[in-house]
Structure 1
């Protein structure tokens, strides 16, 4: 089965329809910066929830989870099991906090607790991370589309970035959230279609799929051992907990959506809906990977020898789906990438306006100037993201290197936030020292895999699995800050006691 004219029609109708629908919010977004960045707090609960879900799912998830499950087992699904805890914390702590602060910026709170240095540091880290995210998503979206359609990778990156930038620039957050909701629905439908077709395409029926998968231990969630050097069940679970706390607690992509609902209660409902929806959907993705393994084990002649695990799903989409459904599933894959890029562009523009332009202005920033800043920043971030994707395509290893640097610089964000929430009286110097020590820990763990065995520095190499980087980095920041605060309080109390006596 090859891609037909009907598949092209389905695909282009979806992409064009989403872009035009997003552009239709232009007049609503022009009402002012509050409309562009928070939709004036007037979006429906279910739409915001679907947007949160779509923000969580990217083209990496769409292809990465099936590829990992095809290659190994259901260990990646353990990451999703931590989401209920993270969303519960969001509902109890994060959302009420941000709604009370009443700022569309996720980092305004850090300035209240530690001063502008903390807000500026985290905002800069966020912007750098989003540039890396846009570029990598565009590239990872272009590669399978190149395999499927045969189109030029650079052209896919440019046109995908431009199409997403146009409706994001014109429609603001309302366009982003509403198109996210549509894209999320298409994504779920596409995943379910693939899972069903794989299940009922087995030569001897669905039972054969489970027999083959069970024989190869494909349903395993990983080892339950105590090792910290392997991605065991516990390592992945703890890693997922910290990453999801960072997502729902301090990531502007999510926090901004908390401000688009009418009330705190609706923001909570949206977050619980969007977060918990990812659990069954990610289960479908890992099931697809297992089903692909069983399908091509039963029918090995249908898969070219040596096909990489992350290319098996794209191969099935093109060669294993009926006419028309191929276009739908490719549209699902495309939607995952577009929603992530659109979110990053709008959220980055919001941060530039709130955390830098307005904060550093010597006089009050007018609405006209605010809108100009939002439009200009959206364009610049989108353009730089496209350039980043093109650079990543041409320079080997730049993607991994950039993500390592981004993880180092952004790794202190969660620990600093937790320190501010738990410890009410943290001195600025103590917070700075805690962040520095945390970043050194993160840098050590992130760069350790680059140390070769024959290097004299090999003895300093971290023995821990890379998933634990954010765990130990965050813990160091929080513990150091907490202990310094406790000791300073004790010292102050003893000093006061001596003065009294």
Structure 2
């Protein structure tokens, strides 16, 4: 632990103040809910694409991806490889669909297709997903800044959360998008700077990094065997395709941006711009993780401090130094991967540059959290409050509701982040939670879009069966050994795949049964 120099603190403070001022600037335009949620449809496609890219490039990527590459290999990069396939589906079908409906909420059409229950179910899944996303990002940024400043993780989340709430409440979606454009540039340059500093510090340079990486299988994309029980190439590819399909097709964060574009064509371009930016950028973070692994292989003495820190966190407060050392000796790289990059920043990045790097990490967190707060507030106001409590709410009251909801979801996100303190891997936690919550609403959405003849009965029955399958796949690991044959044999990342397909296929099957019965009766 070390305290940041005054110059670095000044850089960070300037960045945070700048974000707040952006919110103040755009607050002059936010006179109605249309501007707050859609920016009146006047944002250029390139800015929306940069904004979506910045949302994807969260602190889960900034810290979690290098941690995964350090502790394992490039298996998780397969997630990025799946993005172009999901983007093609989104740009061809989803974007035109949402632009045609004109509905700001991604879930209104579900009520038109299947009834109020479908809309409410999707909204609940979305809000839970957002809390999981915001919480993991709050936790990730606090983990990094605690190593740099020594402040408690809770205090760091609180300060950062207040700044995000202020500029999001004041500026609305337009402030979110334009700050994310800036943040996307900052975080990309920050990652490039970190990579340069690691290579400069590395004896032997790039060739030594490649040598160590090859010897330890750090560049592997995982097993290509047709195995769905482990994190094979195919499991991550399927997971990535379905979760990105959910992102581009069902996530209010992205759907809302489609409505801010000047045209459907510009909205589709924004999806592709995000993909072409994110895929190489995510590869950059995997390279950083492999470089850090090589660096600490050359300097094994530097890793002992990280090991003992993790060991101390797993033991009671009164544990002796000998106990900590014993536990530390048993730890594997995957146990402390998320702490490696913060450690490198603390010990090796020169004063004056740390502030820039921290600002990049802050931007990685703030962009995703701010968009999540705005989207959650929009969904709450449209799909819950106006739907169930007060339909004919006045414009002034709508703006007040949006502001209050934005603050509330910001605070809930902070609370979720605090609850995550102590988790092993940020990326693993986020992937598991998002897969569980997203599976149900994506299957229901695809049923409504593709199977035109499916009705309320088929959709409700399929959703109930899908939820039961998701619950079983999620919690069957706790089944006693004597009933081990009832456990889910598939990898946990297959939950979104199986859950989505269960709802969709069961719905289609029930629809065909109904049509066959109707045909038999008519005959």
Same structural fold, with TM-score higher than 0.5 when normalized by the shorter chain? yes
Closer, same or farther in 2 for the Cα pair 1:317/1:133, shift >3 Å?
A: same
Cα distance in 1 for partners of 2:417, 2:493 equals 25
Distance 1:218 1:284 in 2: 14
Question: Structure 1 74/23 Cα, relative in aligned 2: closer, same or farther at 3 Å?
Answer: same
- Tell me how far 1:402 sits from its aligned partner: 10
Shift of 1:406: 6.9
Deviation at 1:197, TM superposition (A): 2.2
Write the distance in 1 (CA, Å) between the matches of 2:99 and 2:386.
Answer: 20
SS at match of 2:227: coil
Q: Residue 371 of structure 1 is aligned with which of 394, 399, 406?
A: 399
Q: Distance in 2 between matches of 1:405 and 1:89?
A: 24
How much does 1:220 deviate?
1.0
Q: For residue 434 of structure 1, what is the aligned residue in structure 2? A: 462
Of 326, 329, 337 in structure 1, the residue corresponding to residue 354 of structure 2 is: 326
Structure 1 match to 2:444: 416
Q: How does 1:169-188 map to 2 (within 5 A)?
A: 169-188=169-188
**Whole-Å Cα distance in 2 between the matches of residues 72 and 393 of structure 1?**
22
Query: 8 Å contact 1:52–1:275 — kept in the other structure?
Result: no
CA displacement at 1:387 relative to structure 2: 3.0
Q: 2:61 aligns to what?
A: 61
Say yes or no: does 1:298 pair with 2:298: yes
Which residue is 1:222 aligned to? 222
**Matched residue SS, 2:28:** helix
**TM-score, normalised to structure 2's length?**
0.90
Task: Give 1:4's aligned residue.
Answer: 5
Q: Secondary structure at the match of 1:25?
A: helix
Residues 475-486 of structure 1 mapped to structure 2, 5 A cutoff: 475-486=501-512
Choose the corresponding residue for 1:446, options 462, 474, 489. 474
**Is the Cα contact below 8 Å between 1:224 and 1:233 reproduced in 2?**
yes
Deviation at 1:319, TM superposition (A): 1.5
Could you tell me which residue of structure 2 aligns to residue 198 of structure 1?
198
- Is 1:345 aligned to residue 370 of structure 2? no
Q: How many aligned positions are there?
A: 494
Aligned CA distance change for structure 1 residues 97 and 402 (closer, same or farther; 3 Å): closer
The residue aligned with 2:497 is 471
Alignment match, 1:47: 47
Q: Is 1:114 aligned with 2:142?
A: no
Structure 1 match to 2:322? none
Conserved? CA contact 1:83–1:276, under 8 Å? no
2-structure distance, mates of 1:121, 1:47: 32
Distance 2:140 2:99 in 1: 35
Q: Deviations over 1:168-211 (max 9, x none)?
A: 11111111111111111111001111112222332123211111
Deviation, 1:44, is 2.1
| 374-383 or 301-310, larger mean C-alpha shift | 301-310
> Which whole-Å CA distance do the structure 1 matches of 2:299 and 2:177 have between them?
42
Q: Deviations over 1:121-173 (max 9, x none)?
A: 11122123323332332122212211111012211111111110011111111
Instruction: Indicate yes or no: 2:92 matched with 1:92.
Output: yes
Partner in structure 2 of residue 14 of structure 1: 15
Q: Partners of 1:435 and 1:406 in 2: how far apart? A: 17
Cα 1:136–1:358 shift into 2, 3 Å: same
Aligned equivalent of 1:358: 386
Q: Deviations over 1:262-314 (max 9, x none)?
A: 00011011111013311001000000000111112223344335532211111
- The RMSD of aligned alpha carbons is 2.3
1:259 counterpart SS class: helix
User: Structure 1, residues 195-241: CA drift from partner, whole Å, max 9, x if none?
Assistant: 12222332123211111111222111111111111111111111100
Q: Secondary structure at the match of 1:28?
A: coil
Once the two structures are TM-superposed, the CA of residue 455 in structure 1 deviates from its matched residue by 3.9
Question: What is the rounded CA distance, in whole Å, between the counterparts of 2:437 and 2:71 in structure 1?
Answer: 31
**Cα distance in 2 for residues equivalent to 1:7 and 1:167:** 22
Q: Note if contact 1:132-1:403 (Cα within 8 Å) is conserved in structure 2.
A: no
**What is the rounded CA distance, in whole Å, between the counterparts of 2:429 and 2:237 in structure 1?**
25
Confirm whether residue 487 of structure 1 aligns to residue 513 of structure 2.
yes
Mapped to 2, the partners of 1:87 and 1:406 lie a distance apart of: 19
Query: 1:303 and 1:396 mapped to 2: Cα distance?
Result: 17
Q: Which moved more, 1:19-28 or 1:174-183?
A: 19-28
Q: Which structure 1 residue ranges, 4+ long, deviate > 6 Å from structure 2?
A: 394-397, 399-406
| Corresponding residue for residue 263 of structure 1 | 263
Q: Output the TM-score relative to the length of structure 1.
A: 0.93
- Verify the 8 A CA contact 1:125 1:406 in the aligned structure 2: no
Report matched runs for 1:130-149 at 5 Å. Answer: 130-149=130-149
Q: Is 1:315 equivalent to 2:347 in the alignment?
A: no
Q: Distance in 1 between matches of 2:81 and 2:113?
A: 32
User: C-alpha distance in 1, partners of 2:247/2:63?
Assistant: 21
Structure 2: give runs of 5+ residues left out of the alignment.
308-335
Change (3 A) 1:82 1:9: same
Q: For 1:491 and 1:391, how far apart are their aligned partners in 2?
A: 51
